[in-house]
Amino acid sequence: MPIDLEVGGVYLPPIAQALLLALPVFLALDWALRRMGVLRFVWHEALFEGALYVCVCAALILVMGA
């Protein structure tokens, strides 16, 4: 069960924690995909990056729920 977190008097529900934790993971994945040249095969880069971030968030939410 995810724990509610309080940082500096600001309440962070588990979904906000997952969104914040997903950002560095997404940035590392995006950097790696750019270095490998995968993104030149993508039709719409912004849509791909948005979908990638959503997938990373969903994976973290599933891991946090277990």
**Is residue 13 in some structural domain?**
no
Tell me if 11 is assigned to some domain: no
Report residue 24 as tokens.
């560095």
Q: What pLDDT digit, counting tens, does each position of 29-42 carry? A: 999 999 999 989 99
SS3 letters across 9-65: CEEECHHHHHHHHHHHHHHHHHHHHHHHCHHHHCCCHHHHHHHHHHHHHHHHHHHHH
Split at pLDDT 50, 70, 90, the class of 2 is: low
Classify residue 55: in a domain, yes or no. Answer: yes
With respect to residue 3, please indicate whether it lies within any of the assigned structural domains: no
- Domain tally for the chain? 1
Domain range for 26 is 21-65
Query: pTM for the full model?
Result: 0.83
